Every structure is written in structure tokens, then in C-alpha cells.
């Protein structure tokens, strides 16, 4: 995921956590907050409860990569945070992608297509 699509500052994370709505899945928690900006930006976080820095960084890389193909299908004007949960470390990559797609559908952040709610490709 390119840096232009990421939330990077702690004050941005705090604002989204305070004003956003959360959606939970056994692998991931999604927090979404409307923003004044045109595009949608995504931040990822992994707490120390996941384990060592190596495990936390791996979880964040997997979340970013699973989110990357879905970025064009997101509604503009949102800030999102993806929080990794411990089972994410043992999950297959396809499970992570599916979990993110489910959370985005539940939060109504995917642009609707004629055939289905998920992007083609």
C-alpha cells in the first residue's frame, strides 16, 4: 500500500479511534471514521499482545498487502484503522483478505457494483 493511502500520525489514529465506528471480526477490528479529505486513507496497528516486534511487523505487512487490492473499490472520504488480533498470526492470507472484505461490506464502505459488492480482479 502506497504511503499516500496510509494514516501515519498518532493524532490521526486518535481522532479515528474517538470518532469512528468499529466492526469486529475474529482476526481483525476495523474502525471507520468519515473525513473531510477526498481520498480514503488506511492505518494498521498491532498491539504488543501479539508478541515480539517481528510478529507485530509481519501482521501489519500482511494487513497492508491484503488491503491493497481493495483500495480502488473503497468509498472516498474515509479514514480506516485495521487492528490485528492474535489469531491473525496463524491465519492464511486468503482468510485475512476475506475478513477485510467482510468488514468493509458490513461497514458499507465498498462501492457497489452491479454484480456484487466485491471488486473484480
CA 38 to chain centre: 18
Per the structure block, which three cell numbers stand in for 8?
A: 501515519
CA dihedral sign of residues 56, 4, 117, 36? positive
Q: If you compute the radius of gyration of the chain from its CA atoms, what whole number of angstroms results?
A: 14
Backbone angles phi, psi at 6, to 5 degrees: -105, 150
Residues of the chain with pLDDT under 70: 1-4, 113-121
Distances (CA, A) of 75 to 64, 88, 102: 18, 25, 15
Condensed to tens digits (0 to 9), the pLDDT of residues 32-55 reads: 999 888 888 899 999 999 999 999
For the chain, report the end-to-end CA distance as a whole number of angstroms: 16
Amino acid at each position: 500500500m502506497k504511503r499516500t493511502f496510509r494514516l501515519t500520525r498518532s493524532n490521526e489514529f486518535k481522532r479515528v479511534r474517538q470518532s469512528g465506528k468499529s466492526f469486529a471480526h475474529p482476526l481483525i477490528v476495523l474502525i471507520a471514521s468519515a473525513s473531510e479529505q477526498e481520498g480514503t486513507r488506511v492505518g494498521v496497528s498491532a498491539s504488543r499482545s501479539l508478541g515480539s516486534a517481528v510478529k507485530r511487523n509481519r501482521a501489519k505487512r500482511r494487513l497492508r498487502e491484503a488491503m491493497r487490492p481493495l483500495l480502488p473499490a473503497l468509498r472516498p472520504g474515509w479514514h480506516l484503522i485495521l487492528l490485528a488480533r492474535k489469531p491473525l498470526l496463524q491465519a492464511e492470507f486468503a482468510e485475512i483478505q476475506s475478513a477485510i472484505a467482510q468488514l468493509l461490506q458490513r461497514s458499507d464502505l465498498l462501492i457497489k457494483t452491479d454484480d456484487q459488492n466485491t471488486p473484480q480482479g
